[in-house]
Structure 1
Amino acid sequence: MPRWEPDARHRLVTAALHLFSEQGYDGTTVTEIAQRAGLTKSTFFRHFPDKKDVLSAGQETLSRLMADGVAGAPEGATPIVAVAAGLESAAGAMTPFNRELGPRLHAVIATSAELQERDQLKQVGIAAAVTEALRARGVPDPVAALAAEVGMLAFKEAYTAWTAPDNQQELTELTRASLERLHGALAELG
């Protein structure tokens, strides 16, 4: 087996999700994941500290993409326009790999309270990165936090729609539409 595999991380994520779906999260070992991916257990641990981390493999990248998009929004952009730039940055980076594994990931997470809690923490972490990026633009704290949460809700809704089997729209279109709808709903609060 080669020492270095250029797609090892993707292979490990794919193998883990397939095994979690087939035999359950608790019934799957790191050794089985590595074997299914055609890699060694030590390769697994070079990429992930434990099997739970496979399910949040893209969190840091997603946080960075959203925060960078917010930071790169035009000067003077409203908080929601800056969040839209963050969503566009993240959505534009999603690949067919993300789309294919999305439903399987959600199904696996739904089977375990522990995994659901970890998924919620992942979303909180991403929202915190967006909030911080908005604060860096001078957006006051309550507005920054609210805009970030609305952005996360829009992304979550759009991602779910994007991974649906009958969907024909791009993720960027879906995030834009979801954010506009949620922004409108906020205005209705009065």
Structure 2
Amino acid sequence: MVRWEPGTPERLQQAALELFATRGYEQTTATEIAQSVGLTERTFFRHFTDKREVLFLGQDVFNQAFLDGVEAAPAQAAPIEIVASALESAAALFPDERRDHSRTRQLVIEQNPALREREAHKLRSLAATIADALRARGIDDPAATLAAESGVTVFGIAFTQWLRQDEQRSFGTITTDLLRELQTVARGTGA
């Protein structure tokens, strides 16, 4: 058995994604995932509480990217400008070379109700985290919550657009375009 190699969680995640995509989420066991990369089921469970969580590896990095963007925004920035900074920071996690991986992951998630719920929970938690960070910067509610929820909505729409087969724009460009559209809608000047 292969043991103590660096990157074990990432190898397990990649193996799981491939197995879920070819065999189906429900038909794949944690043991099969571990064995496909030469590890034991016990090793799998050292890294993940269950097979669902293997698809959500990196949640802390994901959240931190948004928080780094909130922190990087200028002190006097408006709430939506802070959210724009957060989205710009998070866009770095979605380079074009990850698009195919993200498409496969999203397809697996869309095919399973429990995974869709886990993904929705991830985004709800992200919105709460951003709202807390905005409040820590002195932005009161409801502005903090509105800005955070709007930012997560923009992220979700951008992610869906970025995954389209014919989409060529970068993730960052898509989020910038969508934020501009949101501001147009908010001003009431949209078509």
Q: Are 1:136 and 2:131 counterparts?
A: no
- Counterpart secondary structure, 2:75: coil
Equivalent positions of 1:13-162 (< 5 A) are 13-95=13-95, 98-162=98-162
Distance in 1 of aligned mates of 2:181 and 2:95: 25
What's the counterpart of residue 182 of structure 2? Answer: 182
Distance in 2 of aligned mates of 1:48 and 1:98: 22
Distance in 2 of aligned mates of 1:162 and 1:103: 9
TM-score (normalizing by structure 2): 0.90
- Counterpart secondary structure, 1:93: coil
Runs of 4+ in 1 over 6 A off after TM superposition: none
In the alignment, structure 2 segments of 5+ residues that lack a partner are none
Distance in 2 of aligned mates of 1:186 and 1:36: 50
- Counterpart secondary structure, 2:25: coil
- Identical counterparts, % of pairs: 44
In the alignment, structure 1 segments of 5+ residues that lack a partner are none
- Counterpart secondary structure, 1:141: coil
Residue 64 of structure 1 contacts residue 129 of structure 1 at CA under 8 Å; is this kept in 2?
no
Spell out, residue by residue over 1:109-144, the C-alpha distance to the aligned partner (whole angstroms, 9 max, x if none).
112222111111111011111111111111112111
Task: Count how many residue pairs are aligned between Structure 1 and Structure 2.
Answer: 189
- The residue type paired with residue 12 of structure 2 is L
- Counterpart secondary structure, 1:104: helix
Residue 150 of structure 1 contacts residue 179 of structure 1 at CA under 8 Å; is this kept in 2?
no
Distance in 2 of aligned mates of 1:69 and 1:78: 13
Residue 95 of structure 2 contacts residue 170 of structure 2 at CA under 8 Å; is this kept in 1?
no
1:3/1:96 CA distance change after superposition, 3 Å = farther
Spell out, residue by residue over 1:63-88, the C-alpha distance to the aligned partner (whole angstroms, 9 max, x if none).
11101211220110000110011111
Distance in 2 of aligned mates of 1:74 and 1:124: 25
Residue 12 of structure 1 contacts residue 44 of structure 1 at CA under 8 Å; is this kept in 2?
yes
Distance in 1 of aligned mates of 2:97 and 2:28: 22
